[in-house]
Structure 1
């Protein structure tokens, strides 16, 4: 199983195999054309200069210009191929990563961030950058060195020794820089997450004068990032400069070595110049690899994080489609531990609800009410037991098919960047009639019409200038959009004024007539007056469940006994 999961990234790379093969094909001709410069120098020094032939010089120059023009064209084509391979990889993986990113946000709330998309960008950018060219050109090193052996064996052995030295520099560079680069990347992610969390609470920070203290906290984390990045960059810079200096020195030394052999009449001046150029070309991939090692390390770290994400969050297999539910709910011996917690928030909860019933859930803080809401919707997994909707385990539904049959109004209302109509329509195709019907059911139609652009009013993630009550009522309209058969309302009147609460009561009555099953979590008795059944939770356990009046009477008796 793990092998199949771990191959998600590899499968995407395999799907791009033709692009890599095409890039390698063009690299073959590019590297052959790289011989143009040394061969031109060889002919100029050994034939043109010696024969003093102007015509030969012209012909050779025209051929040289033509070869470099073709090489430039091939380089451009290779670059375009790799850009499209990167785009293909992005298109293949981004939906999967985007879905896994949100699934991870549900399972591990502390890891809610968009870093996986940034990691995908890092991998794609490395694939389309110069660093990858080093891997295509490296296999040609033996060929260039072989040509140096043809010129003179000393040239070949000198190039091998130079290559080994640069290879050692590359290995040391990897050992020395990998850890600080990885640590700097990790610290940077934490600093970005901290800044994002702070930005989401700008009003609180500004109102209570917390910004200087928060700035100090962020600055401390940011300084750690800068410190680790400085260490990594300093170390990488040492080896990049060392590699560059060594390569230039080796090219000069081989030129001097060639001059010695020219003096000894063991080679020509053209071979001396061509040998220097050839060795520079042979060592170029190593030099480029060292210079782009930081980018390679970053891409490798990003690849590892993506692979771990896709292993931890496997893709959901499509299940056989089930009939749309009617709203019958069964909770069977459910134990649940919230993500990131160690203790169970629900312990052995059992009850069932018939379609069209309205049930209230009450209890003190930390009783497990919100956890039960998320369990009912299938957002959080159960440690034991099962949640059944119309007899089927809720996890046996395809989420995209189940979603339209569910409505959810959480405590913290999040509206998204877009128009009010798009938010109500859940960002699917906007059916104007359904949008208005949902808004009227939620009692928010008239309020929306009073906004500057009505249903086309644009709102941001924080709902712009909308009040808490307006956000809550638009969120209720979103929950009512379409034909949901099960509605979960978590503190639906927490931000409502008297008018909004009256509208909510009317909404509940409308839903009752339509036969919609409704679960309401609330502390306010006004919204609980018209419900059918009442569930009382305490310390994650079910204390009472039954007819609302009977449960309310029993609770009143408990209070009287406690008072006496």
Structure 2
């Protein structure tokens, strides 16, 4: 039996689409490298023919021919560089959107995956494809041809060039072998220090108010010093390799000239051949020398390629032609267990729950009981989940997130707004439907407030909405959740920063969603939320303590509390 042919990865398939460009770059590289023999041939003609014949006409003809060949060589080099630059831009256009979606899927599912690093990998691959490193790879195969010409001039020159080529190849291999790990460690240390700093800058006001700057600086400085030491070690190794490379290169030039001079003294070579051999040997070893300089970018691009290939394989592209019908909003959880990295005990422990379409469910429980985690599990945005989370009987994980997002409304406990206008934030930064934006703002009780802003709905709010109060941010987040009347609405402590008017608008919005047959999950500690509840779910320690119709659950809880009070009163006093 024939072995099964291995399928190309998605990234390899995209790069395979550039095979025509790479073939043309190879052809242009062949032309440029062949014409790079022009100076060598020109020197041979000048020293051995023109100087011997004293013919000015021969010198003019040879010089014009050499200039024409050099012009063609320069044009070939320019064309191949232009081809690679255009290929890099096209590669970015083909992959940027795909990488964007995969990176954010990875960010939701993997705590150590950073979208910024993913895009850095894409940029690193594109820069390698348009830089000198890939040109060195195209030029390197022509080194044997130059070596063959050197052997034709004299075997001793060819043997010397082969020796220097082997030494340089050994240096490339040694540099790659010894430097990959130090550079990776330095890069990871830099990412850790930068991430730590960014995390503290997001809470700059708390840091300043509580006088935490000194201790945090000490923590950051320790991470920064680790990066500095690792970077210094990596750079020291790089500089040593570069120094060795320069020593070999300069030694090669001098020894090649000395070898040629020895052959001229012995009468085995003409002075023209000596000069031409020196130039040709430098040209033969130039691609290897370029590889020594480009090995770091090559190893970095190779590592970036492997990481990006693995990312795209783990998060394949969903079929854009696959569209589902608008969901009714019926949610079902079967045996759901949610865990978190670094935590031994699960957060959610075997949750079974039904949220019928068109009902309002209020979720209550003490802090740390898993309410917010349960909300994220229902939305399909919690990474480590086992069990079934079904929307209208179909797994939530099977939906395309862009398509599913249109049918979901989510107000998290910590409202995050984005730099842009009020209208853009309410419209989720999609195409702004003015009527839909105004309707969502009205349902959130926000319309009149927005009209008092300097530019109304076009008022910019700055990064994170820092110019707004906590209540204003929460109401804008509520309007965003209500935009285009989603089938499922999940509200996590939506009234924590609201005044009486804001809470009244919230409860009225929930009643409106129920009247339109939408499914609402409302997490709240305030008893006023029970007024709009059809069903009540009580959580404790990651489990559902009670669930069912509101009045029945409230009555059962009151009876349980009464029994507990009687038991406590009847218990004998200690001592």
1:180–1:232 CA contact under 8 A, matched in 2: yes
Partners of 2:419 and 2:341 lie apart in 1 by: 27
Partners of 2:62 and 2:152 lie apart in 1 by: 22
User: Normalized against structure 1, the TM-score is what?
Assistant: 0.95
Task: Note the C-alpha offset of 1:541.
Answer: 1.5
Question: Could you tell me which of 505, 508, 531 is aligned with 2:507?
Answer: 505
Change (3 A) 1:6 1:359: farther
1:240–1:287 CA contact under 8 A, matched in 2: no
Task: Note the C-alpha offset of 1:4.
Answer: 8.1
Task: Note the C-alpha offset of 1:304.
Answer: 2.9
Q: How does 1:8-23 map to 2 (within 5 A)?
A: 8-23=10-25
Change (3 A) 1:217 1:65: farther
Question: In structure 2, what is the equivalent of residue 422 of structure 1?
Answer: 424
Partners of 1:423 and 1:340 lie apart in 2 by: 34
Task: Note the C-alpha offset of 1:47.
Answer: 1.5
Change (3 A) 1:83 1:397: same
Question: In structure 2, what is the equivalent of residue 259 of structure 1?
Answer: 261
Question: In structure 2, what is the equivalent of residue 190 of structure 1?
Answer: 192
Q: How does 1:377-456 map to 2 (within 5 A)?
A: 377-380=379-382, 383-456=385-458
Question: In structure 2, what is the equivalent of residue 137 of structure 1?
Answer: 139
CA-to-partner distance for each residue in 1:337-363, whole Å, 9 max, x for gaps? 246644322223223233211110111
1:439–1:474 CA contact under 8 A, matched in 2: yes
Change (3 A) 1:198 1:65: farther
Question: Could you tell me which of 89, 92, 97 is aligned with 2:91?
Answer: 89
Q: Which runs of 5+ in 2 are unaligned?
A: 569-575
Question: In structure 2, what is the equivalent of residue 290 of structure 1?
Answer: 292
Question: In structure 1, what is the equivalent of residue 537 of structure 2?
Answer: 535
CA-to-partner distance for each residue in 1:192-236, whole Å, 9 max, x for gaps? 222221222222222222223322322222222222222112211
2:176–2:296 CA contact under 8 A, matched in 1: no
Q: How many residues align?
A: 562
Question: In structure 2, what is the equivalent of residue 305 of structure 1?
Answer: 307
Question: Could you tell me which of 174, 180, 198 is aligned with 1:172?
Answer: 174
Partners of 2:559 and 2:201 lie apart in 1 by: 48
Task: Note the C-alpha offset of 1:152.
Answer: 0.8
* 1:325 lines up with 2:327 in the alignment: yes
Q: How does 1:103-182 map to 2 (within 5 A)?
A: 103-182=105-184
Task: Note the C-alpha offset of 1:481.
Answer: 0.6
Question: In structure 1, what is the equivalent of residue 573 of structure 2?
Answer: none
Partners of 2:280 and 2:28 lie apart in 1 by: 20
Task: Note the C-alpha offset of 1:13.
Answer: 1.6
2:110–2:383 CA contact under 8 A, matched in 1: no
1:347–1:541 CA contact under 8 A, matched in 2: yes
* The 10-residue stretch of structure 1 (330-339 or 133-142) with the greater mean CA deviation from structure 2: 330-339
CA-to-partner distance for each residue in 1:29-63, whole Å, 9 max, x for gaps? 11011111111111111122222222222222222
CA-to-partner distance for each residue in 1:458-507, whole Å, 9 max, x for gaps? 23341131112111111111111113111010111112122221221221
Q: Which runs of 5+ in 1 are unaligned?
A: none
Partners of 1:379 and 1:13 lie apart in 2 by: 32
Change (3 A) 1:46 1:242: same
Partners of 2:347 and 2:110 lie apart in 1 by: 16
- SS class of match (2:548): strand
- SS class of match (2:464): coil
CA-to-partner distance for each residue in 1:293-323, whole Å, 9 max, x for gaps? 2222222232233233334434345684332
Question: In structure 2, what is the equivalent of residue 359 of structure 1?
Answer: 361
* 1:216 lines up with 2:190 in the alignment: no
- SS class of match (1:412): coil
Partners of 2:180 and 2:349 lie apart in 1 by: 46
- SS class of match (2:11): helix
* 1:44 lines up with 2:46 in the alignment: yes
1:16–1:88 CA contact under 8 A, matched in 2: no
* The 10-residue stretch of structure 1 (315-324 or 242-251) with the greater mean CA deviation from structure 2: 315-324
Change (3 A) 1:195 1:303: farther
CA-to-partner distance for each residue in 1:128-185, whole Å, 9 max, x for gaps? 1111111001100110000001111111111111111111122221222122112111
Question: In structure 1, what is the equivalent of residue 571 of structure 2?
Answer: none
Change (3 A) 1:382 1:158: closer
Partners of 2:559 and 2:281 lie apart in 1 by: 94
Partners of 2:359 and 2:491 lie apart in 1 by: 14
Partners of 1:314 and 1:451 lie apart in 2 by: 44
User: Normalized against structure 2, the TM-score is what?
Assistant: 0.93
- SS class of match (2:362): strand
2:536–2:550 CA contact under 8 A, matched in 1: yes
1:505–1:527 CA contact under 8 A, matched in 2: yes
Task: Note the C-alpha offset of 1:113.
Answer: 4.4
Partners of 1:376 and 1:429 lie apart in 2 by: 27
Task: Note the C-alpha offset of 1:384.
Answer: 4.1
Question: In structure 2, what is the equivalent of residue 547 of structure 1?
Answer: 549
1:357–1:518 CA contact under 8 A, matched in 2: yes
